Amino acid sequence: MTSLDDLPLRPELRGRTPYGAPQVPAAHRLNTNENPHPLPDELLADLGAALGSAALDLNRYPDRDAVALRADLATYLTRTGGQPIEPGQVWAGNGSNEVLQQILQAFGGAGRTALGFTPSYSMHPIIAAGTGTGWVDGHRAADFTIDPGAAVAQLREAAPDVVFVTSPNNPTGTAVDLDTVAALYEATPGVLVVDEAYAEFARTGTPSALTLLPGRPRLVVSRTMSKAFGMAGLRLGYLAADPAVVDAIQLVRLPYHLGSLTQAAARAALAHTDALLATVDAVKAQRDRIVDALPSMGLTSVPSDANFVLFGHVADASAAWRALLDRGVLVRDVGLPGWLRVTAGTPAETDAFLTALGEIAPDHRTTLGD
C-alpha cells in the first residue's frame, strides 16, 4: 500500500491530519454547531422552483461575479449589521472556508505569516498551511479572552500579514469587543479578518465588526449561511470589506467558482431570511438553558455568544466525551484539557444532553481551579 510518505508531498504538510470532527453514529449529534431545525416549508417550495429554473441554464457557466447574490447579501448585512454595505463590498464563496482561503491566497502565501488567537477555529491554521502561509499562535488570557494590551504588543512584534479574530470565538463562544478589534487593526499593517460565523447568535447588544468597516480598508468581516441560516449543506460563505479587497480576491479566485445552483439556492434562501432566522432565538434559549444548568452539576462554562457552550471542568476531556457518547450524546473534544464543547439545538437535544451530563458529572467533574 502506498502511504503519504511515499509521495512527493510538500514538506510542511507531512505528518498533518485532515480537519474533521469524528463522524460517529449517535442519537444526538451535538458536535458541529449546525442548526437542527428543518428549513421552513415555504423555502423548500421556492428552492425547488429556483433550482429548476437555474437548471435550464446549466449548459452555461454561472455568473462569475455572482452579482445578484452579492447584492442580496449586501441587503441582508445592511439590514442587520447597523451599517450600509454595498454589493461591491461583498464577496461570496463555497462556504466561508473558501473565502478565508482566498484571503490567504491573496494576502498570505510563501514567506508571509498569519496569526490567530488560539484556542480558536482550527481551520485557520490549516488553511494557512494549505496556502503556504506561516502560522503564529496569538495569546489569550486564562479565561480565553483576548487581552488588548498583550495582543497589540504581540502584533507589533510579529507583524503578521493576516490576523484572524473569531468573534464570537469557536470553541470558547465569547464575542470580542469592538474596541479590541479596532486596537488590533491599528497594531498591524496586515489584513485583519474578523470571522463572524456565529454573529447572529450573539447576545443582545453585541455589535458586529461591520460597523468598523468605514475607513478601515484592511478590515474583512466573514460570515456564513452554515450556522444561523441552517444551511450548512449549501456551502455558502461571504465577506464584507472595502471594494479593493474584493478586487484583490478576484486575482486568486478560480473562474466560475460558485455554481449556478448554489447561487440560485442561496438567493432563494435569502428571500426567506426572516423565516430562516426565526429559530435563532429558540437556539439561544437552549444555549442559555445549558449555561444555567451547569452550576447545579458542579460544572461551569465560558460566556457564550454562539450556538454552543464550552463546558468544564472535567478531569479528563476524552473520558468524559466517551461517557457522554455511551449515553447517545456526541459532543466535541476540541483538545482543550478540562473542557468539552456542546452545540445548542432543540429542547429535546438539550434534555438528552443535560440528562447524560447529570449522570456522568459526579464521576468526571473536577473542582474549579484544579
Ligand X SMILES: *Cc1c(COP(=O)(O)O)cnc(C)c1O
**Does 226 contact ligand X by CB under 6 A?**
yes
**Does 167 contact ligand X by CB under 6 A?**
no
Cell numbers that stand for 306 in this block: 454562539
**Does 230 contact ligand X by CB under 6 A?**
no
Residue 125: C-alpha distances to residues 53, 114, 204, 247 (Å): 39, 8, 30, 24
What is the pattern of x (binds ligand X, CB under 6 A) and - over residues 116-155? -----x----------------------------------
Whole-number Å distance between alpha carbons of 161 and 283: 36
Cell numbers that stand for 324 in this block: 457522554
- Which residue lies nearer to ligand X by CB, 197 or 325? 197
- First vs last Cα of the chain: how many Å apart? 46
Among 172, 208, 224, 301, which residue sits at the site for ligand X (rule: CB under 6 A)? 224
Stretch that binds ligand X, among 95-103, 186-194, 250-258, 273-281 (CB under 6 A): 95-103
**Does 103 contact ligand X by CB under 6 A?**
no
* CA angle centred on 141, ends 286 and 198, rounded to 5°: 35
Residue 312: C-alpha distances to residues 37, 153, 286, 315, 326 (Å): 27, 30, 18, 8, 19
Whole-number Å distance between alpha carbons of 335 and 286: 24
Least separation in angstroms between residue 294's CB and ligand X is 22
- Which residue lies nearer to ligand X by CB, 239 or 360? 239
Among 31, 35, 83, 96, which residue sits at the site for ligand X (rule: CB under 6 A)? 96
Stretch that binds ligand X, among 38-46, 78-86, 222-230, 340-348 (CB under 6 A): 222-230
- Which residue lies nearer to ligand X by CB, 227 or 253? 227
Among 89, 105, 167, 170, which residue sits at the site for ligand X (rule: CB under 6 A)? 170
Stretch that binds ligand X, among 62-70, 202-210, 226-234, 358-366 (CB under 6 A): 226-234
- Which residue lies nearer to ligand X by CB, 208 or 226? 226
Largest Cα–Cα distance of the chain, in whole Å? Answer: 63
**Does 97 contact ligand X by CB under 6 A?**
yes
Least separation in angstroms between residue 199's CB and ligand X is 10
Least separation in angstroms between residue 60's CB and ligand X is 26
Q: Which of residues 236-295 bind ligand X (CB under 6 A)?
A: 237
95: left (phi over 0), alpha (psi -120 to 50) or beta: left
Nearest residue to the partner ligand X, using Cβ: 95
Whole-number Å distance between alpha carbons of 104 and 127: 8
Q: What is the DSSP letter of 224?
A: E
Other C-beta atoms lying within 10 Å of the C-beta of residue 353: 28
**Does 349 contact ligand X by CB under 6 A?**
no
Give the residue from 267, 263, 209, 270 showing the smallest Cα distance to 241: 209
Peptide bond preceding 337 in cis form (omega within 30 of 0): no
Q: Which of residues 24-53 bind ligand X (CB under 6 A)?
A: 33
**Does 174 contact ligand X by CB under 6 A?**
no
- Which residue lies nearer to ligand X by CB, 33 or 208? 33
**Does 195 contact ligand X by CB under 6 A?**
yes
Helix (H) or strand (E) holding 163: strand 162-166
- Which residue lies nearer to ligand X by CB, 122 or 366? 122
312: left (phi over 0), alpha (psi -120 to 50) or beta: beta
Whole-number Å distance between alpha carbons of 283 and 59: 41
Interacting residue ranges for ligand X, rule: CB under 6 A: 33, 95-97, 121, 166, 170, 195, 197, 224, 226-227, 232, 237
